[in-house]
A = this chain, B = another copy of it.
Amino acid sequence: MSASVITYAGGMVRWEPGTRERLQAAALDLFATRGFEQTTAAEIAQSVGLTERTFFRHFPDKREALFHGQELFVAAFLTGARESQAGAPPLEVVRAALASAATFFADERRPHSRRRQTVIDANPALQERERHKMVGLADTLGDLLRDRGVAEPAATLAARMGTTVFEVSFATWIAAGEERSMAEIQSAVFAELVALAQDR
């Protein structure tokens, strides 16, 4: 990300490159060590030599320091879905969305994701925020399928199957000792879902 200059409160403020990322890393550090409730936005900012005011220029509240970047997460799914062939079956579109999302969960991201999850698991309000994010993703995928001409309830069902496969795969990916890639895990979980539907 390059530095940019924005107008702020009538003046000019230099928008330091990487400030947001430093705040996010500091937030995760403090949430993981002291606890989410016990950490203030001012403390996060101070821990990297910034002011509370700077913090609130980047995030509306401390919680969002854990959730910022969500649009990139959703975009990772949509890219794959949009590139699927016209007329592809709904679950193939969903599978393409999952494959594309896997690139967002590169192996080097795994330690960060594990740490973030321990913070979320310790706090019901953060768990709810995370559930809300998944509901939003399912809605977005459903819209995309409906735009492609998929009828109801197929569009909603296929979108929900996609987020279910994602959630189950993500929990596996961050489990202690797990070394398979997100793409590999998702393929296995997806295959299991299809097998379940056929085992009747």
Contacts and interface: CB of A to CB of B under 8 A. Distances in A.
Can you tell how many copies of this chain the complex includes? Answer: 2
A198 interface: yes
A194 to B, nearest CB: 5
Nearest to A94: B196
Contacts of A189: 153, 157
Contact of A198 (B156, B165, B192, B197): B197
Secondary structure call for the A interface: helix
Interface in A31-58: none
B196 A90 contact: yes
Interface residues of A, number: 28
Interface in A149-181: 153-154, 156-158, 160-161, 164-165, 168, 172
Nearest to A153: B168
B193 A157 contact: yes
A200 interface: yes
A200 B89 contact: yes
A157 B90 contact: no
9 contacts: A89-B200, A91-B199, A157-B168, A157-B189, A158-B196, A160-B168, A161-B161, A161-B164, A194-B200
**Nearest 8 CB-CB pairs, A to B?**
A197-B197, A89-B199, A160-B164, A153-B168, A194-B197, A157-B193, A91-B196, A153-B189
